[in-house]
């Protein structure tokens, strides 16, 4: 099976970036931008789901999710049709998935009446179901074997579910006793544990990748909330639009400055 897979992937250039330290830095900034950008649209522009906001808030989350969902589908289609790795297209698709994940998670946990525990469990089932279907269909869920439309489709579905799950998990932790800064430190420490497991153990690299990918989202969610939530609620009360603009500029700068190369398949 390994030899067959190697022959099939030989000469195929990945359209996904190499998983480096720079990848994780940009990923965390992208998830933070997704939180501030998603909240800017669903809360600042369209209204927030609160008892006082009523029906308008629910529409705000639904409309925002629809906007970002359409953008995400369009970018995923372009990503799948692309012939080679394009860092601008890839990171634009990641940002679309994380903003869509923000508004969808808010709708799931706040508008469906199932709260953070129910929403987190529902979205976790979505991630696991996507990974199960991916593995059942193609035999693996490793990102260095993502070639062809089917694998790419599974990849982006799993990415979107993980972004949504991470948002719900981050909001659940931040709205509890930890607060925004405490939750950010907790998820940062969890990522440090994953990094230690990567460098010091032989734990499955595939499992560690997806664990880290999911954990970066609640880290970004809590940092984003810390930036734009009112001071009375433990935040810094920065403008959501301003925070989103600054984060976007930082991501653009890092894409330009940091080496951006395609990942390598096992056959290489």
Using one digit for the tens of pLDDT, what is the confidence trace for 179-200? 888 888 999 999 999 999 999 9
- Following DSSP, what letter does each residue of 192-222 receive, concatenated? HHHHHHHHHS---HHHHHHHHHHHHHHHHHH
The distance between the two most distant Cα atoms of the chain, rounded to a whole number of Å, is 61
Q: Is residue 98 included in any domain, yes or no?
A: yes
Q: Give the integer Cα–Cα distance in Å for 173 and 109.
A: 13
Report in angstroms the alpha-carbon separations of 263 from 82, 85, 202.
Answer: 15, 9, 21
pTM, full prediction: 0.85
Q: Has residue 209 got a pLDDT over 50?
A: yes
Q: Is residue 1 included in any domain, yes or no?
A: no
For 36-54, b/e burial (b = at least 16 CB within 10 A) is bbbbbbbbeebbbbeeeee
Residue 50's pLDDT band (boundaries 50, 70, 90)? very low
Q: Are 137 and 150 in contact (CB under 8 A)?
A: yes
Q: Is residue 248 included in any domain, yes or no?
A: yes
Q: Which residues pair with 262 in a beta bridge?
A: 17
| Phi and psi angles of residue 127, each rounded to the nearest 5 degrees, phi first | -60, -50
Pick from 178-182, 213-217, 230-234: least confident: 230-234
Q: Is residue 172 included in any domain, yes or no?
A: yes
Domain carrying residue 131: 15-257
Q: What is the pLDDT of residue 265?
A: 52
Q: Is residue 266 included in any domain, yes or no?
A: no
Total domains in the chain come to 1
Q: What is the pLDDT of residue 1?
A: 37
Which positions ≥6 away from 168 have C-beta within 8 Å? Answer: 105, 108, 109, 116, 119, 120, 123
Q: Is residue 10 included in any domain, yes or no?
A: no
């Amino acid at each position: 099976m390994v030899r067959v897979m190697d022959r099939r992937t030989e000469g195929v250039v990945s359209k996904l970036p190499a998983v480096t330290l720079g990848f994780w830095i940009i990923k965390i900034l992208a998830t933070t931008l997704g939180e501030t950008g998603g909240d800017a649209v669903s809360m600042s522009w369209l209204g927030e789901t609160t008892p006082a906001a009523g029906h308008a808030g629910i529409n705000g989350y639904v409309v925002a999710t629809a906007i970002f969902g359409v953008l995400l589908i369009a970018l995923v289609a372009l990503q799948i049709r692309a012939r080679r790795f394009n860092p601008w297209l890839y990171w634009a698709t990641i940002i679309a998935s994380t903003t869509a994940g923000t508004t969808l998670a808010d709708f799931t946990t706040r508008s469906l009446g199932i709260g953070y525990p129910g929403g987190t469990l529902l979205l976790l089932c979505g991630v696991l179901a996507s990974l199960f279907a991916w593995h059942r269909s193609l035999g693996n869920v490793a990102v260095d074997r993502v070639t062809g439309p089917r694998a790419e489709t599974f990849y982006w579905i799993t990415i979107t579910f993980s972004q949504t799950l991470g948002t719900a998990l981050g909001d659940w932790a931040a709205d509890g006793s930890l607060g925004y800064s405490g939750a950010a430190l907790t998820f940062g420490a969890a990522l440090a544990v994953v990094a230690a497991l990567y460098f010091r153990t032989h734990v499955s690299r595939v499992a560690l990748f997806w664990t880290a990918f999911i954990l970066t989202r609640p880290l970004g969610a809590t940092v984003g909330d810390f930036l734009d939530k009112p001071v009375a609620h433990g935040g810094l009360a920065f403008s959501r639009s301003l925070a989103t603009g600054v984060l976007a500029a930082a991501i653009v700068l890092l894409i330009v400055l940091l080496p951006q190369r395609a990942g390598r398949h096992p056959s290489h």
